[in-house]
């Protein structure tokens, strides 16, 4: 049994991994986080007060063996209707911190939290973590690095003059320097765009917001659905068969239910699909899947509707072609979906909400660059993350796996696909924690 595990990344996935090692009497752990605090992550620690969870609290337990854990925690805090509530993300961050503190109190001296930046890992003797200002010796390491910043759209880069371009929306003051005569262009129409619109609105910005993506699809809202009998067997993994199945079921029980009932089959479907089927899904079906699968709270959808009705938010399906600085503005050339005419608009700022970068070979993170350069990790076949096997062990450049290096969280989407939300990450961290603690043999799981 390994005696010491280093976890790189103190966000949601890394925090849960530490908690699970403690809960299962596993090896002692060191949680390495470059930010000032660990235990909540970017999504829950840096959220604005008006950001709420995209899922009802009843489904947000961090512990797969205690599905009511978060709802019960909210009850203890005096919440009147926790099961159906879309609570603020800052509250969920508090929940994670308390969960970590409780686990540490029950297993004292088993977890060390280090504020540092990991820049490399040496696997010649265990797993030696090279930090920007020191080293940590461990038996194995777990990469829990979360999402990478979005890539720069063609024609934009980090050298864009002044404050015309917010390359990473989570590390930018998106409303700074704006006035009510300005127009802001948001690239992307997914969940990050929604958060940035709420940030602009909360800051008092009353100018115009244009949200642009190739299909112009917005996340759907959560809504009560009629009861239905879910399918019992996994549908075929071929893309054409799956599309036919979902369309048929959507006609019978509605789109939301048709997508939701696939939840327990998503990872097996993805892993059983061949490379061509996966590519076809990513190219043609992913946008439709995302808007039905990753929905927003009704109160958030209402705010978007109000902004659209007031002509303060415009959503268009288009492709950007060029960006040209012009004084305190950017001239943006774009072509609407299905049109031949090139249009132009002047905007005060462009905010990049195109989604996380997944291609390791384009990553700017020193740790990933070093690991890729030495062949310890490689990108998956679809260039959306780190290549791992079914047990979350990373796969090296020559196709080899190593029990001393693992990866969890969104960067393993190439192997598991649905690994960006709480229900999926909690199961992954639980399973790896039990395996490293040899607790997976308990209760017949290993028999």
Q: Domain limits of the chain?
A: 4-148+357-444, 165-219+295-352, 239-293
pTM score, whole prediction = 0.89
* CATH class of the domain defined by 165-219+295-352: alpha beta
The C-alpha R_g of the chain, in whole angstroms, comes to: 22
Report pLDDT digits (tens) over 143-158: 999 888 888 888 887 6
Report pLDDT digits (tens) over 60-119: 999 999 999 999 999 999 887 887 788 999 999 999 999 999 999 999 999 999 999 999
- What are the backbone dihedrals phi and psi of residue 180, each rounded to the nearest 5 degrees, phi first? -75, -5
Beta strands in 250-387 (DSSP E): 313-326, 329-336, 342-347, 349-352
Angle, CA 411 vertex, CA 410 and CA 416 arms, to 5°: 70
Report pLDDT digits (tens) over 365-420: 999 999 999 999 999 998 999 999 999 999 999 999 999 999 999 999 988 888 88
d(CA 96, CA 118): 23
Smallest CA-to-CA distance from 363 within 372, 375, 374 is with: 372
| Number of C-beta neighbours around residue 5 at 10 A | 26
Q: Determine contact, residues 33/115, Cβ cutoff 8 Å.
A: yes
Smallest CA-to-CA distance from 96 within 15, 189, 188 is with: 15
Please provide the DSSP assignment of 347-378 as one string.
ESEEEE-S--B--GGG---HHHHHHHHTTS--
The mean of the pLDDT values for the chain is 88
Where does the pLDDT of residue 181 fall: very low under 50, low under 70, confident under 90, or very high at 90 and above?
very high
| 4-148+357-444: CATH architecture | 3-Layer(bba) Sandwich (3.50)
Report pLDDT digits (tens) over 22-71: 999 999 999 999 876 666 666 666 677 888 888 888 889 999 999 999 99
User: Residue 444: pLDDT above 80?
Assistant: no
Report pLDDT digits (tens) over 286-323: 777 777 778 899 999 999 999 999 999 999 999 999 99
Where does the pLDDT of residue 262 fall: very low under 50, low under 70, confident under 90, or very high at 90 and above?
confident
Smallest CA-to-CA distance from 256 within 85, 412, 55 is with: 55
Parallel, antiparallel, or unpaired for β 208-213 and 183-187? Answer: parallel
User: Residue 446: pLDDT above 70?
Assistant: no
Report pLDDT digits (tens) over 320-332: 999 999 888 999 9
Comparison of pLDDT for 6 and 238, the residue scoring more: 6
Please tell me the predicted confidence (pLDDT) of residue 60.
92
| Number of C-beta neighbours around residue 343 at 10 A | 13
Contacts of residue 188, Cβ cutoff 8 Å, sequence gap at least 6: 150, 211, 212, 213, 352, 353, 354, 355
């Amino acid at each position: 049994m390994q005696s010491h595990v280093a976890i790189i990344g103190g966000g949601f996935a890394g925090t849960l991994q530490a908690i699970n090692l403690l809960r299962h009497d596993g090896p002692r752990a060191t949680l390495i986080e470059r930010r000032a605090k660990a235990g909540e992550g970017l999504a829950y620690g840096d959220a604005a007060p008006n950001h709420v969870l995209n899922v009802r609290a009843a489904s947000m337990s961090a512990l797969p063996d205690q599905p009511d854990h978060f709802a019960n925690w909210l009850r203890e805090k005096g919440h009147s209707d926790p099961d159906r509530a879309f609570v603020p993300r800052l509250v969920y961050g508090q929940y994670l911190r308390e969960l970590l503190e409780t686990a540490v109190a029950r297993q004292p001296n088993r977890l060390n939290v280090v504020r540092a930046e990991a820049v490399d890992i040496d696997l010649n003797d265990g797993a030696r973590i090279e930090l920007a200002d020191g080293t940590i010796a461990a038996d194995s390491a777990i990469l829990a690095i979360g999402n990478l910043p979005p890539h720069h759209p063609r024609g934009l880069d980090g050298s864009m003059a002044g404050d015309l371009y917010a390359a990473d929306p989570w590390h930018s003051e998106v409303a700074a320097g704006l006035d009510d005569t300005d127009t802001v262009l948001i690239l992307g129409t997914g969940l990050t765009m929604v958060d940035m619109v709420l940030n602009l609105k909360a800051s008092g910005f009353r100018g115009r917001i244009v949200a642009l993506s190739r299909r112009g699809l917005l996340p759907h809202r959560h809504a009560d659905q009629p009861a239905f009998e879910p399918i019992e067997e996994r549908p075929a993994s071929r893309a054409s068969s799956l599309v036919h199945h979902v369309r048929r079921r959507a006609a019978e029980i509605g789109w939301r239910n048709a997508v939701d009932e696939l939840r327990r089959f998503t990872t097996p479907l993805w892993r059983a699909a061949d490379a061509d089927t996966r590519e076809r899904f990513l190219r043609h079906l992913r946008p439709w899947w995302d808007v039905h699968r990753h929905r927003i709270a009704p109160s958030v959808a209402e705010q978007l509707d109000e902004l659209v009705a007031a002509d303060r938010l415009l959503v268009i399906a288009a492709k950007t072609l060029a960006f040209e600085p012009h004084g305190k503005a950017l001239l943006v050339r774009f072509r609407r979906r299905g049109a031949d005419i090139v249009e132009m608009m002047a905007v005060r700022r462009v905010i990049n909400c195109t989604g996380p970068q997944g291609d390791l070979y384009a990553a700017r993170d020193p740790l990933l660059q070093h690991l890729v350069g030495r062949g310890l990790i490689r990108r998956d076949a679809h260039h959306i993350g780190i290549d791992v096997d079914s047990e979350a062990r990373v796969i090296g450049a020559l196709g080899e796996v190593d029990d001393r290096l693992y990866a969890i969280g969104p960067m393993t989407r190439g192997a598991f696909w649905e690994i960006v939300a709480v229900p999926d990450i909690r199961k992954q961290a639980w399973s790896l924690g039990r395996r490293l603690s040899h607790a997976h043999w308990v209760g017949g799981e290993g028999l």
